[in-house]
Structure 1
Amino acid sequence: MHPHLKTMKTIQKQETIPRKISLPAFNPDHVLNMTDGTGIIQHALRNMPNRKEGYCTDDNSRALLLTVLAWKHDGYPDVLKLMSVYLSFIHYMQMEDGYFHNFMHYNKQIVMDGGSEDAYGRTIMALGYLIADGPSPLTIRTAEDIFLKAAPHMDKLISLRGIANSLIGLCMFVGSHHPLDGHLNRVGLLADKLIHEYRRYSDKKWCWFEEVLAYDNAMIPLALLHAYELTRQEEYLHTALEAISFLESKVFRDGILYPVGNNGWSSKGGSTALFDQQPLDAMAMVLFYQQAFHVTGDKKFLARGIRSWQWFMGENALQLPLYDKDTGGCSDGLQPDRVNENQGAESTIAFWIAYFAVSEMLDR
């Protein structure tokens, strides 16, 4: 039996759009709580900012993306001040060669660790969204300056997630304002890198881009959907849908999302770890389905996006909500017997990014 057929009943449960979708009101309280004049603080001790852990470019880029989505969706005035803080942080963390430092101590000392491709990719993605949907010409031009200074580093990326996040940002950049300035070629080069890795590792039983399902998995096929929207290369669409079908066979059980656990991941020929489950992975699934629904118009992707979103709200392995309606924060993950009490920046931002993605799907 084909491995995907075993999950057919599960997938069919995902096809049904839940009758009543009740989204909470946008509550930026915890995002504001975690943000100071420098940027958003990485970690929290429960709902208190943990200043001992300082700041990182990863989270400030995610936070910048969140402000763009919030502004685009409802024009929340408070987010413009936050947008300026996060963009300023990214600008400060950019090196002379265009790459980005990732960590900063609370005393504003930059950690000289050379940065990371993950942080670079997430920054390019956020800047691409800001350039496409920013609130003012001045803000957009500032984002363009940072983006263009960083862009040459895309050609040297090795990390799958660095490539994928950069590709999404590049597609937003090209699709919004810059269709003819040479960057479209770079879209093809980055997408083809992902296709190359898919061909290298996939077989009849393992349809994926590497030998392990780790974190942020759905971002990789999501990038191919963005590339398909610009280039109309059918292989990008086919590969993205084949890969997500495989991922679904690993992470959906009876219509409930079980993101791959970070205590062991899921390796080729091995088992899939159940815990700890991370908000970032649920967010990635929602973003994939948002783009798949946008590109194909197929309502099954709307249904699956909502199923993935409901993981945050309690439809998960423990039947416990990760979203805290009192604080506006989101827990750092689902452990074998409890919800992690800490409400860090990454988790809270992941929740709200997924929230605006679902809102956009429901508004269509």
Structure 2
Amino acid sequence: MATNKLFQYIFTLTDDTGIMQHSIGSIPDPNHGYTTDDNSRAIIAATMLYEKYKDEKYLKLIIKYVSFLLYAQSNNGYFRNFMNYNRTFKDESISEDCFGRCLWAASYLLKAAIPDNIKTAAILMIDRALKNINDLCYIRGKAYTLIGLYYIYKYGTIWNKEQVLKYINKLVNDILNEYEIHSSSDWKWYEDIISYDNGIIPLSLLKSYSIIENRKILDVAIESLDFLDSICFRHGYFKAIGCNGWYKKGHEVAEYDEQPVEAYGMALMYLEAYKIINNEKYKKRAIDCNEWYYGKNSKGISLYDDISGGCYDAITKNGVNLNQGAESITSIIISHCVTI
């Protein structure tokens, strides 16, 4: 892949507002507008591209996506998620997943080799958001938030570290409690269903372990990681749990659709585990997750579109979904940047 065209589709899908949510084929579809979820993930993707390739065009993307999040954040510190094409938000409802993803994205900027004047906006958003952490109820919102808190603790300079550590301990204990409730000898998971963005939960514990160094955190993270690994690599290659039914305890694993967001989250999880315990298997697994996008998958078909520079939206029972939305392009970019 030529670097001047590498993932070019992120520019196609991005306009003056931000990255659009959906496409018809490789044509951006304004009818579905934007989501803050996608723009938060795009911040991380564009930042990784900028750090990897040192090209100013990626810095311009970062600025657009950060501006989007600034506009999306309400006075209460939460983030509105669904935006119409005319830049009006569809509602004021609160999504804890969206909150956590935004905190992760803003906090990731603290460590990045980018101009400080961009970090100023990230700091403002983080400062507004922190007051809501103790009110979070849902496990993935907590997991995304924990990853953000890792970067705040490691790279933040204006926040009281003891308070940040209290936030981390609370969310870690919440997740460990869910594991105690739901796990059993043959089900090493935090819920009675394994659904979406699954690698993020063990990843959040692994990140937290690097700060707290409580052996129980590591043990649960690795135990659940290995359980997830046994499911997703049951055929010898990465196969994401299908979104048409997921995997409910006591039932069969849904085969399709396999979504790109699963592979990048798993790659991040494996690499964090490799960093901590230096097991070469985990490093190879991360690479296998990245190769899923390029044909090492259940259909033997590449999801990367060499013509558009985009990524197809899913592996389906009949092949691939040829649409190329924001979740897909940002996922393949993040996976590429951490594994190549």
Give the shorter-chain TM-score range. over 0.9
Question: Structure 1 CA distance, aligned partners of 2:223 and 2:329?
Answer: 30
Question: Structure 2 CA distance, aligned partners of 1:207 and 1:177?
Answer: 34
Aligned equivalent of 2:237: 256
Question: Structure 2 CA distance, aligned partners of 1:128 and 1:295?
Answer: 21
Please state how far the C-alpha of 1:288 moved relative to its aligned partner. Answer: 0.5
Question: Structure 1 CA distance, aligned partners of 2:59 and 2:152?
Answer: 20
Q: 3-state SS of the aligned residue for 1:145? A: helix
Aligned equivalent of 1:43: 22
Aligned equivalent of 2:253: 272
- Counterpart pick for 2:298 among 303, 314, 317: 317
- The amino acid that maps onto 1:307 is D
Question: Structure 1 CA distance, aligned partners of 2:113 and 2:174?
Answer: 29
Counterpart check, 1:225 vs 2:194: no
- Counterpart pick for 2:13 among 34, 41, 45: 34
Please state how far the C-alpha of 1:134 moved relative to its aligned partner. Answer: 4.5
Q: How many residues align?
A: 337
Q: How does 1:1-364 map to 2 (within 5 A)?
A: 25=3, 27-178=6-157, 180=161, 182-359=163-340
Q: 3-state SS of the aligned residue for 1:68? A: helix
Please state how far the C-alpha of 1:234 moved relative to its aligned partner. Answer: 1.1
Of stretches 68-77 and 57-66 in structure 1, the one that deviates more from structure 2 is 68-77
Q: 3-state SS of the aligned residue for 1:313? A: coil
Of stretches 176-185 and 47-56 in structure 1, the one that deviates more from structure 2 is 176-185
**Superposed CA offset, 1:228-261 (max 9, x none):** 0111111111111100111111111332111000
TM-score where L is the length of structure 1:
0.90
Q: 3-state SS of the aligned residue for 1:253? A: coil
- Report the aligned-residue RMSD: 1.3
Structure 1 residues 113 and 95: CA distance shift in structure 2, 3 A: closer
Does the 8 A contact of 2:273 with 2:282 survive in 1? yes
Question: Structure 2 CA distance, aligned partners of 1:341 and 1:41?
Answer: 16
Gaps (5+ residues) in structure 1? Answer: 1-22, 360-364
Please state how far the C-alpha of 1:24 moved relative to its aligned partner. Answer: 6.7
Q: 3-state SS of the aligned residue for 1:95? A: coil
Of stretches 66-75 and 135-144 in structure 1, the one that deviates more from structure 2 is 66-75
Does the 8 A contact of 2:45 with 2:334 survive in 1? yes
- The amino acid that maps onto 1:117 is E
Does the 8 A contact of 1:255 with 1:307 survive in 2? no
**Superposed CA offset, 1:257-315 (max 9, x none):** 11000111101111100000000111111111121122222221111111111111101
Please state how far the C-alpha of 1:181 moved relative to its aligned partner. Answer: 5.2
Does the 8 A contact of 2:7 with 2:329 survive in 1? no
- The amino acid that maps onto 1:40 is I
- The amino acid that maps onto 1:211 is D
- The amino acid that maps onto 1:115 is I
Please state how far the C-alpha of 1:337 moved relative to its aligned partner. Answer: 1.2
Question: Structure 1 CA distance, aligned partners of 2:167 and 2:92?
Answer: 27
Gaps (5+ residues) in structure 2? Answer: none
Does the 8 A contact of 2:73 with 2:79 survive in 1? yes
Question: Structure 2 CA distance, aligned partners of 1:221 and 1:165?
Answer: 11
Question: Structure 2 CA distance, aligned partners of 1:296 and 1:148?
Answer: 33
- The amino acid that maps onto 2:210 is E
Does the 8 A contact of 1:251 with 1:260 survive in 2? yes
**Superposed CA offset, 1:105-143 (max 9, x none):** 001111114131111111111111111215022111220
Structure 1 residues 134 and 315: CA distance shift in structure 2, 3 A: same
Does the 8 A contact of 1:313 with 1:320 survive in 2? yes
Aligned equivalent of 1:12: none
- The share of aligned pairs that are identical, in percent, is 34
Question: Structure 1 CA distance, aligned partners of 2:245 and 2:43?
Answer: 31
